[in-house]
Amino acid sequence: MKSFDAQTAYRYMENLAKDIGNRESGTDSERRAAAQIQAWFEEFGLSSIRMEEFEVQTSRILKEEAALSDGTKLECAAVGNSLSTPPEGVEGEVIMLESTSPEALETIEDKIAALNVVLYEKDFHKAIESKPLALIYPSQTPLAPTIYRSVRSEWTKKQNIPAVSMAHDDVLSVLKTGKKLRIVTEVEQIAARSQNVTGDVPGTLEGEDLLVGGHYDTVRTVVGAHDNAAGTAVVLELARVLSHEKLNRTLRFAAFGSEELGLRGSFNYAETSNHVENLRFYLNLDVHGILLGTLNAMVLGPEDLKSLLRFTAKELGIPLKITSELGRGGSDHMPLAFYGVPSISLSRTGGAAQIMHTELEDLRWCGSDAFALAGKISQTFLERLAKAAELPFEKEIPSEIAKALEKRFADSGIRRKPHD
């Protein structure tokens, strides 16, 4: 039996982040990454290798400028799928928006609103209806650079607004000086193609498949070293070392596209009934490779699954923080759990996680040692499930977790599609 090799995993990450580089959703570079992952799956000897395409709505940024009224230029990034400004731009006072209460919203008319609040679909439209000139999404921490982001394309069909991301400190300086800000953006919304890549290690039992995966795409301009070339690298190394094992249950490996546009690849997978009807478990790998970090797991499944993971970590002597709270972010385990598949998302977080989706997110924060614990617990856990005579947990999502997922996705305008 082969063992997970952290240095090999690092090389997969290095190839994706350095040799291929940026893998923005729906672009040629994302397709090159998918083709490389497919080639690796073939090299490992996986069976039933598939590349399944799907359509995504995305955008191309043609212009993004910000300047103070005295002519001082500031860095900004137009938000994907946002509305273009008029050619001359929009100019106005910048004001903080800290909530979407009526009292807060009435202050932003004819102003540029800098957001200190998470906007889901209803709040996004409430903000637009309050008639600001534009929105600013500041990075969340001091010294952090501009974050590249998009809004869900579905939200913009009803109404839209110009929006940019800016560095925390630049937004702070504008607020302190009180000077007006002029923003000029040109955003072209387009339809594009993305793809999921899957391959199997066949098992002898029917109807009890297991899935392990992560997304390989990035936001624009960013090489996405730890989000998520590193997570994909863990998936690839697990596929390599487990590819010729004799298993009771089929073990499927997946590389999901367009996660950064709103979990598009995993939703496309979960919404297809023949993908999930026999699926009993999903292990998600998202954000890894960070040297100064710690392992975390989000379990969206029954208590027996959480107990098994906790026991495995204790047995291996691996420190692991386990929760079932959704938190503010999202990853590909959530659509699978939304469609009834017990899921675990394993991640390695640390200081470098604060610069995800920025141009600083490169290989300098990563190292092969950061893959060792994630690989060890993942391989041990998957082998036990794949070789067990009987799975030690049911295919169910506890009601509290199911309700939390329903609310999260409802807030984002997402409804569960019935399976055929």
pLDDT in tens, 275-318: 999 999 999 999 999 999 999 999 999 999 999 999 999 999 99
Whether 298 and 363 map to the same domain: the answer is yes
Percent of the chain with pLDDT over 90: 97
Domain boundary among 163, 190, 217: 190
Is residue 417 included in any domain, yes or no? Answer: no
Whether 123 and 264 map to the same domain: the answer is no
pLDDT in tens, 151-202: 999 999 999 999 999 999 999 999 999 999 999 999 999 999 999 999 999 9
Residue 101 has pLDDT above 80, yes or no: yes
Whether 213 and 182 map to the same domain: the answer is no
- 108: domain CATH number is 3.50.30.30
Confidence of residue 271 (pLDDT cuts 50, 70, 90): very high
Residue 329 has pLDDT above 90, yes or no: no
Whether 156 and 199 map to the same domain: the answer is no
Domain boundary among 190, 223, 254: 190
Whether 165 and 101 map to the same domain: the answer is yes
Q: What is the 3-state secondary structure (H, E, C) of the chain?
A: CCCCCHHHHHHHHHHHHHHHCCCECCCHHHHHHHHHHHHHHHHHCCEEEEEEEEEEEEEEEEEEEEEECCCCEECCEECECCCCCCCCCEEECEEEECCCCHHHHCCCCCCEEEECCCCCHHHHHHHHHCCCCEEEEECCCCCCCCCCCECCCCHHHCCCCCEEEECHHHHHHHHHHCCCEEEEEEEEEEEEEEEEEEEEECECCCCCEEEEEEECCECCCCCCHHHHHHHHHHHHHHHHHHCCCCECCCEEEEEECCHHHCCHHHHHHHCCHHHHCCEEEEEEECCCCECCEEEEEEEECCHHHHHHHHHHHHHHCCCCEEECCCCCCCCCHHHHHHCCCCEEEEEEEEHHHHHCCCCCCCHHHECHHHHHHHHHHHHHHHHHHHHCCCCCCCCCCCHHHHHHHHHHHHHCCCCCCCCC
Is residue 286 included in any domain, yes or no? Answer: yes
Is residue 328 included in any domain, yes or no? Answer: yes
Please tell me the total count of domains within the chain: 2
Whether 210 and 338 map to the same domain: the answer is yes
Domain boundary among 190, 205, 224: 190
Q: Which domain holds residue 119?
A: 64-190
Whether 250 and 384 map to the same domain: the answer is yes
Whether 200 and 176 map to the same domain: the answer is no
